[in-house]
């Protein structure tokens, strides 16, 4: 009040919060250090002094959006009573409704506050901001209660963007069932599907919800749920091309791979980062049973393409954390007829790939795989790849 008495302009624009009113309703620190009543009293004082309630500026766009994000019910109601436009766009979260349900670290959303905004006319279908829509923001928070409220109000748009159906680092937590409460994740996905979400919506690094679930899922239930709602098992797109390649690469649960092939996933499909599911599985080499399963369903051990060229070369790629099944996987693929002398990709042949060194264990590389390849008639002097020959690959300075 002293500053205002000496002429401070309450509506001057600038800084992270745009206006003094927006700054007043934003709690940057732990609210346990002071009561929220303080925010309310300051905001009320500014409004009584004539501060404009709907100025669009700063991080949160409007004071109402800032109050909604902070979860301050009383201050939100105060701003609305002073004529704040509940659907005015601006700032990080576009609208107060999206801000009210957005994920946050230090604060929790208020169910009562969300209900207040909806009862006062907040439009849940407004598109914009960090999460696209209020529903997508609510889903990322990982609590079904907010999604239920929003789905009751109208038919919500489920859009490409950071959501549980397009796999941002945030949204994949939900789609994958990797939230701390897996039951909560399943409930959210089912809520969205029942609310009209397209189970095959394309986009993001995982291409489809099924591919995302196959990559991240802790259990088979989520994959089964998506297929129950009509997810196409052979849809192409995203980093891993298909759900089968995604599941084979991660291979946390062979039952997911088995379910996909039993439901018609084609092991021969050539697309994505690793070209085939067999190459993806061979690179990780976490479970020989997956390699055997894919081959029994028609995976082509001779297929050439993708990041490492062939499944054999993917299996022989050496790096510090490669697991103990690498040798067995290489032996299995050779036993299945893989050609040790096929040239493709960055390192030419499997022998050179197995000798390329890229870690601090420069002198301690396990030579069991190169020896196996040589015993299987790998040509030790053939030119090709990044280093030209196997010998040069072995002595090249990785740094």
Which superfamily does CATH assign the domain made up of 267-399 to? Ankyrin repeat-containing domain (1.25.40.20)
pLDDT band with cut points at 50, 70 and 90 for residue 13: confident
Least confident piece of the model among 20-24, 29-33, 229-233: 29-33
Q: Which has the closest alpha carbon to 98: 51, 54, 162?
A: 162
Q: What is the pTM (predicted TM-score) of this model?
A: 0.75
Alpha-carbon gap, residue 230 to 263, rounded angstroms: 12
Look at residue 95 in the predicted model and tell me its pLDDT.
96
Residues with Cβ within 8 Å of 221's Cβ and at least 6 positions away in sequence, in order, are 177, 186
Which of 99-108, 175-184, 278-287 tops mean pLDDT? 278-287
298 versus 10: the higher-pLDDT residue is: 298
Alpha-carbon gap, residue 46 to 395, rounded angstroms: 72
Least confident piece of the model among 185-189, 234-238, 367-371: 185-189
**pLDDT at 319 > cutoff 60:** no
- pLDDT tens digits along 169-213: 333 334 444 344 455 577 888 888 887 777 877 777 788 888 888
Give the residue extent of every domain in the chain.
267-399
Alpha-carbon gap, residue 195 to 191, rounded angstroms: 6
Contact (Cβ atoms closer than 8 angstroms) between residue 278 and residue 286 = no
Average pLDDT, the chain: 79
Least confident piece of the model among 99-108, 273-282, 336-345: 99-108
b/e sequence 321-332, b meaning 16+ C-beta within 10 Å: ebeebbbebbbb
Least confident piece of the model among 101-110, 201-210, 370-379: 101-110
Residues with Cβ within 8 Å of 387's Cβ and at least 6 positions away in sequence, in order, are 347, 352, 356, 393, 396
Look at residue 167 in the predicted model and tell me its pLDDT.
36
Least confident piece of the model among 191-195, 249-253, 320-324: 320-324
Look at residue 393 in the predicted model and tell me its pLDDT.
61
């Amino acid at each position: 009040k002293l500053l205002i008495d000496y002429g401070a302009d309450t509506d001057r624009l600038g800084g992270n919060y745009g206006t003094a009113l927006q700054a007043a309703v934003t709690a940057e620190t732990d609210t346990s250090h002071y009561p929220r009543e303080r925010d309310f009293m300051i905001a009320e004082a500014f409004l009584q002094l004539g501060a404009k309630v709907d100025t669009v500026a700063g991080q949160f766009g409007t004071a109402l959006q800032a109050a909604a994000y902070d979860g301050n019910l009383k201050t939100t109601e105060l701003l609305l009573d002073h004529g704040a436009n509940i659907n005015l766009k601006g700032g990080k979260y576009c609208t107060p409704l999206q801000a009210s349900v957005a994920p946050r670290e230090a604060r929790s959303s208020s169910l009562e506050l969300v209900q207040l905004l909806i009862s006062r006319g907040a439009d849940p279908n407004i598109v914009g901001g960090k999460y696209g829509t209020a529903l997508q923001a609510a889903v990322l928070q990982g609590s079904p209660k907010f999604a239920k409220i929003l789905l009751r109000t109208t038919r919500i748009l489920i859009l490409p963007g950071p959501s549980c159906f397009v796999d941002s680092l945030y949204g994949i937590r939900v789609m994958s069932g990797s939230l701390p409460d897996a039951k909560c994740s399943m409930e959210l996905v089912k809520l969205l599907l029942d609310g009209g979400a397209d189970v095959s919506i394309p986009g993001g690094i995982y291409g489809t919800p099924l591919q995302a679930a196959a990559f991240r899922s802790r259990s088979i239930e989520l994959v089964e749920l998506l297929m129950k709602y009509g997810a196409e098992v052979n849809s192409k797109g995203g980093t891993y091309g298909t759900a089968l390649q995604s599941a084979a690469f991660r291979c946390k649960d062979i039952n997911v791979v088995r379910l996909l092939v039993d439901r018609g996933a084609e092991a021969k499909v050539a697309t994505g980062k690793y070209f085939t599911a067999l190459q993806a599985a061979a690179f990780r080499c976490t479970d020989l049973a997956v390699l055997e399963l894919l081959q029994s369903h028609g995976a082509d051990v001779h297929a050439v393409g993708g990041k490492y060229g062939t499944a054999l070369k993917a299996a022989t790629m050496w790096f510090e954390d490669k697991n103990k099944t690498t040798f067995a996987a290489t032996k299995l693929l050779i036993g299945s007829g893989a050609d040790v002398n096929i040239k493709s990709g960055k390192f030419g042949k499997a022998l050179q790939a197995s000798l390329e060194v890229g870690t601090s264990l420069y002198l301690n590389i396990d030579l069991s795989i190169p020896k196996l390849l040589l015993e299987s008639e790998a040509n030790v002097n053939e030119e090709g790849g990044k280093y030209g020959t196997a010998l040069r690959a072995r002595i090249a300075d990785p740094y």
